Chain A
Amino acid sequence: MRGRAFALVAALSVAGCAAGERPQPSATPAVERVPAAVRDAFPSRYRAPAAPKVALSGATVLTAAGDEIANGTVLMENGKIVAVGAGLSVPEGYAVVDANGKWVTPGVIDAHSHLGVWAQPDSVDALNDVNEMTDPNTAQVWAEHSVWPQDPGFDAAREAGVTTLMILPGSGNLFGGRTVTLKNVPSVTMQGMKFPGAPYGLKIACGENPKRVYGGKGRSPATRMGNVAGYRKAWIDAADYARKWDKWEKGGGAGDPPKRDLQLETLAGVLKGDILVQNHCYRADEMAVMIDIAREFGFRIRTFHHANEAYKIAPLLAKEDICVATWANWWGYKMEVFDALEENAALVHAAGGCAIIHSDDPIVVQRLNQEAAAALSSAWRAGIRISKADAIRWFTANPAKALGIADRVGTLEPGKNADVVLWNADPFSIYARAEKVWIDGGIVFDRGDPAYRRHSDFLLGQPGEIR
């Protein structure tokens, strides 16, 4: 515990430097004494923008904290939400945005994206850095080291209200590597987008993909049972590695520390609870097996991704407090997604679980609100009563929980980061478009601003439109 507390102090001090200069190396390499998994080797260099006082007035506000507020006012100041309510009077000093007839929601959060790591033009192999399919266990790779911030897909997503994304490695391996959570701000560097303090995730993949990739190469895993053997071996190794570090730390850091191993460091970070498990897993029976593996080795699964059969075990997932990130419309492209339903998210929600509509796609990320509308519509068709005030959570508050950043974003509540979208219509309508988008109170997209230009350098001087 002592070591862990020390690590937290170290992490905080580094995070505190995010807005300033890179920390100077100190005389004593204290960093060597920090448990490696929580060390911040590629720190966020995100700088919160200058955030004027802004009041959105007269809108229908979906807070994602349970309310739909008619004639609502949202006040932003210093990058934070300071007040949300019906017909609030606007104090002095606020720039008022007339939002009559319009809708306001929290910034859209995509819990499953490959923007930047499989960038546009995505038919170009040179820009495909998503899947390190050289070994079934590549827990040592980090998605952030593949992120190309010039991906035009980031601009398209921002114009659709997406303010935060989790970027994952692909699903070809049992352990695909670390995820990274990004703020969808224009930046030349990955570090400039990195969400300060957001926990890392570990991408794990079930089912057909790993067994197809490695079975096709004549090696394990070639079957689902091979997949499970692969997970368990890795966790045994990780537990061993974690014990060695614990022993060294309990010894007061005397003597040489164990040699760092990037692969085991990430897995051990999961066992310590610092890194969240983001598990690509379609079938209900496989999810149940993954839950038992987590129990065997003493970690938790934060989210099942795609999880198109979650509806078959919705009460179990609710009881285990595991989020389900899924689509409404995708199904049938392979055997393990044959039983997918439009109602999947709604059935998870109705069982008291944490339902998320995610994209996994550079087009769908631009309309997560519409994908959620299709899911909501299917719920109504099934006679399941879910309000828009609840369904808005599917692409805001619930992904914030899945990403471990719910204390900062995902709802419009006082104290939360001012990540806000102003829509020209009900976001559950097909005709709604994001009009203005704020991140930490700074405006990052304004459809009405003639000076707005896309950030990506790629399309500059080419036939594509840069606004």
Chain B
Amino acid sequence: MTCRLLALAALAFATSASAETIAIVDARLMTMTAAGEIERGTIVIRDGRIAAIGADVAVPAGARVIDGRGGTVTPGFIQADSTLGAVEVSQVPTSADRATHSAAISAGFDISLGLNPDSILLPVARLAGITHAVTTPLYDDRGGRDLQFAGQAAVIDLAQRPDMVTRPRAAMVLEMGEGGAERAGGARGSAIVALRATLADVRHFAANRVAYDRGEGRPQRLSHVDLEALIPVAEGRMPLIVKVDRASDIREMIALAREEKLHLILDGAEEGWRVANDIAAAQLPVILDPLADLPRSFSELGASMENAARLHAAGVTIILKTGSGVAHRARELRYGAGNAVAWGLPYGAAVAAITVNPARVFGVADRVGSLERGRAADLVLWNGDPLEPLSQPQAVFVEGLEKALTARPLELRDRYLPSAR
């Protein structure tokens, strides 16, 4: 197996997907479309696009054939709530662009600007089958805990190319619950009032732009940059990712979203299973960490390994993530999904929760998250069950580009391998 992997890796170095026909044959195909799971099928990739996919697809003459026997092809995984591309070393602040403590820029912070396609973290995540991430601002409370919004998230690809932003400004990020309360003066009642007041300010700003431009608007808590950024949120055009865990906080946010006509995405929701029917009725998607099973705060007393399974069973669209703002440990996404399966989530739902669900929720489902004819190939061939640690990828395509199965840690490994053997 190892020799085969090495050969494939060498091959990947030598060739690019463009201007070439590649056929992955005899693999299990998890299409994440109406075509479902194809037990043994073929994918033909021509010039980086999926030219054919199915059980009875002929291999074109001259195609480079990748043997997928015993393996599985999935869409590239999408790591939600990540800081990939915006951090190199977590504790080296100058290597990180994940958060701002500017008093004038909170909602206005646009993480899609200034991302680093050369980050050594991207190929490491790719080796775990991740081809996209929702790069999401974090809070930096050094400037005083009064920032309401963390900023705007972006969907990025991990191809390591200059244009790495799949979708900029894909969602606004807001922490409520404990964190929101702390930033709003120490109480939840203060945070919710502050949020409503902000939305009223934004609407007033949007309706009176000319007056504000003349300097005649009413006084605002937020800068014009922040107000500007919040207009699509207040109008329900931009999703608002709200980080909350406690069941009561989730209920508050459901009520607020209904009244204010906001387009919400719940993030965290560790007690989500306790209000699963409310979330399902409100049709809110939930981003959650399937391994968060400890009462790490008084907002997470109900944390449970069965959160994912119970929310799914209630009809909630779930997205699985790895921790909060994950970057280096993004490679554990597939293990988290496997654990969710061990704790009752159906296998197909777990794969959907790291592919097609985040693609839909973040508005990039026309490009990634499923395997469809005509699309740029964004997929991974695994040598076994993709959720098992003992499986490894054999080929990775990011939006039509075949990527070598290398990363800086593997180069380091090879430098020291002989002395250990």
A sample of 22 inter-chain contacts (CB < 8 A) reads: A120-B295, A314-B420, A333-B89, A333-B90, A333-B91, A334-B92, A335-B91, A339-B409, A342-B409, A347-B413, A363-B292, A363-B294, A370-B335, A370-B339, A376-B389, A380-B392, A382-B2, A382-B413, A384-B420, A384-B421, A462-B295, A463-B274
With A339-B412, A341-B412, A432-B342 as contacts: A366 and B1 at CB distance below 8 Å: no
Q: What distance in Å separates the Cβ of A150 from its nearest Cβ neighbour in chain B?
A: 12
| Interface: B331 (CB within 8 A) | yes
B interface, CB within 8 angstroms of A? 1-3, 5-6, 88-92, 121, 178, 247, 271, 274, 291-298, 300-304, 327-329, 331-332, 335, 338-339, 341-342, 387-392, 409, 412-413, 416-417, 419-421
CB within 8 Å of B: which A413-467 residues: 428-433, 458-459, 462-465
Taking a contact as CB atoms under 8 Å apart, the answer to whether A430 and B421 are in contact is: no
Q: In terms of DSSP, what is the predominant structure of the interface of chain A?
A: loop
Task: Tell whether, in the assembled complex, residue A347 and residue B417 are in contact, meaning their CB atoms are under 8 Å apart.
Answer: yes
Contact yes or no, B298 A121, CB < 8 A: yes
Give the nearest-CB partner of A350 in chain B. Answer: B420
Whether A79 sits at the interface, judged by CB under 8 Å, is no
Determine whether the beta carbon of B412 is less than 8 Å from that of A334. no
Residue A123 at the B interface, CB < 8 A? Answer: yes
Name the A residues within 8 Å of B412 (CB-CB).
339, 341
Shortest beta-carbon distance from B370 to chain A in Å:
23
**Cα separation A350 to B331 with both chains bound (whole Å):** 24
Tell me the bound Cα distance from A247 to B390 in angstroms: 58
Residue among B271, B339, B392, B417 making CB contact with A367, cutoff 8 Å? B339
Cα(A433)–Cα(B340), bound, Å? 12
A332 adjacent to B89 (CB under 8 Å): yes
Per the bound structure, the CA–CA distance linking A291 and B387 in Å amounts to 40
Known: A381-B2, A430-B338, A463-B302. A156 touches B420 (CB 8 A): no
Q: Within 8 Å of chain B (Cβ to Cβ): is A124? A: yes
**A360 beta carbon closer than 8 Å to chain B:** no
A96 to chain B, nearest CB (A): 26
Given contacts A311-B420, A315-B419, A332-B89, contact A377 B295 (CB under 8 A): no
Known contacts A363-B294, A366-B293, A384-B421; A463 and B390 CB within 8 A of each other:
no
A330 partner, pick from B291, B296, B329, beta carbons under 8 A: B329
Check A121–B295 contact: CB distance below 8 A. Answer: yes
Which residues of the partner chain A approach B294 to less than 8 Å between Cβ atoms?
120, 122, 152-153, 156, 362-363
CB distance from A137 to the nearest CB of B (A): 24
Q: How far is the CB of B300 from chain A (nearest CB, A)?
A: 7
Residue A174 is within 8 A (CB to CB) of chain B in the complex: no
Interface residues on A, range: 35 or more
Binary contact track A354-376/B, C-beta < 8 Å → 1, others 0: 00000000110011001001101
From residue B133, how far is it (CB to closest CB) to chain A in Å? 15
Task: List B contacts of A465 (CB < 8 A).
Answer: 302, 304
For the complex, what is the distance from the CA of A442 to the CA of B289, rounded to whole Å?
34
Q: Looking across the interface, which residue of chain A has its beta carbon closest to that of B391?
A: A377
Q: What 9 pairs across the A-B complex have the smallest Cβ distances?
A: A430-B338, A332-B328, A373-B389, A334-B91, A347-B420, A463-B302, A123-B297, A333-B90, A374-B389
State the A residues within 8 Å of B (CB): 120-124, 152-153, 156, 208, 311-312, 314-315, 329-335, 338-343, 347-348, 350-351, 362-363, 366-367, 370, 373-374, 376-377, 380-384, 428-433, 458-459, 462-465
Bound complex: CA of A458 vs CA of B92, how far in Å? 37
On whether the beta carbons of A377 and B392 are closer than 8 Å, the reply is yes
Chain A nearest CB: distance from B176 CB in Å?
Answer: 16
Asked whether B295 lies within 8 Å of A335 as measured between CB atoms, the reply is: no
By a CB distance below 8 angstroms, the chain B residues around A373 are 388-390
Q: Contact between A429 and B388 (Cβ–Cβ < 8 Å)?
A: yes
Is A380 in contact with B1, judged by CB distance below 8 angstroms? yes
Are B338 and A380 in contact, with the CB atoms below 8 A? Answer: no
